[in-house]
């Protein structure tokens, strides 16, 4: 009997496929966390903490409501997108596929989602902008460009140093020699990660002296809105608002920086209460089902479609027809 090529039906099935095909060092880079990885995996193999925290939240369905027309669109910083499921910054994607960031940004554009490009990208921001198209919404992550049509700066604030990622240290992780970091034009910053390895490279690149005053300075020299990524406490969320940040991305960096941090969905309520509408709030980590979204190219596009369709189903069962009504 001829084999039947079946599309993955869930994000978990995409992950299983990646685990079967990616080289060990590459896979370990993508999936490992800091120190004992207790936040990432929890104790006693109970599952990923970010995911389990979502699963604890239960939905209460409503009945006999008109749910013929479901609208999953929303706005971020005044820009309309078709789905609240967006792509957070992820480094060095060409290690997983030759098209890497280009495939991801094309898929985001096709799905009407926002795409956030990592500083540590294996494709330049200009090439990503061209692939994303004139109507695609794209933001740029910074570690410390109105250019190329990026609409916001996403400043990662939870990385004064690189987390203690023991799997990467054991593997002596380096970027493969045929790849380079596309947002650094030649010289040490473009190829240093190939030569010195990730830990040494990050130590040289990252700045341990950054403060909220630096965020205020960044906002003062750019007309683009600034979003801070890596906030987990209401105190820091208030400080972000005080220096004029337009958005706050609640993130624990996938538990790759500091172990034993809380799941992002657990940190979210206190941050929302503290911000009181002064900035938009987003979340990453643990989103594996469309029902998770309700609670709080080819392959990439299919992942976005799976999550958005599952979100629409959750909205129908809960008699909620628009994103603002959730």
Active-site positions read: 253
Cα–Cα nearest to 272, from 289, 247, 292, 297: 247
Q: Is 109 annotated among the ligand-binding residues?
A: no
Q: Is 288 annotated among the ligand-binding residues?
A: yes
Q: Is 256 annotated among the ligand-binding residues?
A: yes
What is the spatial distance between Cα 314 and Cα 290, in angstroms, rounded to a whole number? Answer: 7
Q: Is 115 annotated among the ligand-binding residues?
A: no
Q: Is 83 annotated among the ligand-binding residues?
A: no
Q: Is 90 annotated among the ligand-binding residues?
A: yes
Q: Is 159 annotated among the ligand-binding residues?
A: no
Q: Is 220 annotated among the ligand-binding residues?
A: no
Q: Is 287 annotated among the ligand-binding residues?
A: yes
The DSSP bridge partners found for residue 115 are: 87, 138
From residue 215, how far is each of 223, 265, 275, 278 by CA, in Å? 13, 25, 17, 16
Instruction: Give the distance from CA 180 to its chain's centroid.
Output: 21
Backbone φ and ψ for 121, nearest 5 degrees, come out as -100, 150
Q: Is 3 annotated among the ligand-binding residues?
A: no
CA-based R_g, the chain, Å = 20
The DSSP bridge partners found for residue 202 are: none
Q: Is 165 annotated among the ligand-binding residues?
A: yes
Crossing angle for the helix pair 198-205 and 187-196, to the nearest 10 degrees: 150
Q: Is 188 annotated among the ligand-binding residues?
A: no
Q: Is 156 annotated among the ligand-binding residues?
A: yes
Q: Is 253 annotated among the ligand-binding residues?
A: yes
- What's the CA angle centered on 50, arms 44 and 56, to 5 degrees? 80
Annotated binding site for glyoxylate: which residue ranges? 29, 143, 165, 253, 256
Annotated binding site for FMN: which residue ranges? 89-91, 118, 141, 156, 229, 251, 284-288
Annotated binding site: which residue ranges? 29, 89-91, 118, 141, 143, 156, 165, 229, 251, 253, 256, 284-288
């Amino acid at each position: 009997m001829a084999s039947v090529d079946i599309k993955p039906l869930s994000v978990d099935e995409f992950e299983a496929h990646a685990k079967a095909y990616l080289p060990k060092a590459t896979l370990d880079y993508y999936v490992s966390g800091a120190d004992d990885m207790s936040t990432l995996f929890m104790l006693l193999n109970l599952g990923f903490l970010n995911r389990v925290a979502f699963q604890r939240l239960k939905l209460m369905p409503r009945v006999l409501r008109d749910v013929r027309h479901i609208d999953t669109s929303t706005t971020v910083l005044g820009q309309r997108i078709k789905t609240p499921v967006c792509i957070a910054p992820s480094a060095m994607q060409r290690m997983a596929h030759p098209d890497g960031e280009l495939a991801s940004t094309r898929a985001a554009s096709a799905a009407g989602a926002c795409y956030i490009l990592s500083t540590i990208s294996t494709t330049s921001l200009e090439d990503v902008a061209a692939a994303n198209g004139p109507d695609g919404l794209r933001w740029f992550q910074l570690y410390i460009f109105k250019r190329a049509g990026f609409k916001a700066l996403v400043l990662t604030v939870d990385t004064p140093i690189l987390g203690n990622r023991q799997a990467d240290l054991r593997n002596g992780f380096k970027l493969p020699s045929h790849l380079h970091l596309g947002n650094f034009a030649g010289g040490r910053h473009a190829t240093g990660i190939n030569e010195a390895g990730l830990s040494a490279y990050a130590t040289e690149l990252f700045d341990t002296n950054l403060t909220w005053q630096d965020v205020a300075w960044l906002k003062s020299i750019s007309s683009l809105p600034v979003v801070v990524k890596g906030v987990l406490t209401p105190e820091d969320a208030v400080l972000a608002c005080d220096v004029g940040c337009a958005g706050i991305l609640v993130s624990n960096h996938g538990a790759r920086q500091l172990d034993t941090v809380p799941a992002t969905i657990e940190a979210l309520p206190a941050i929302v209460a503290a911000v009181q509408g002064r900035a938009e709030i987003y979340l990453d980590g643990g989103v594996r089902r469309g029902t998770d979204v309700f609670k709080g190219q080819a392959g990439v596009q299919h992942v976005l479609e799976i999550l958005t369709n599952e979100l629409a189903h959750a909205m129908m069962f809960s008699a909620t027809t628009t994103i603002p009504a959730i």
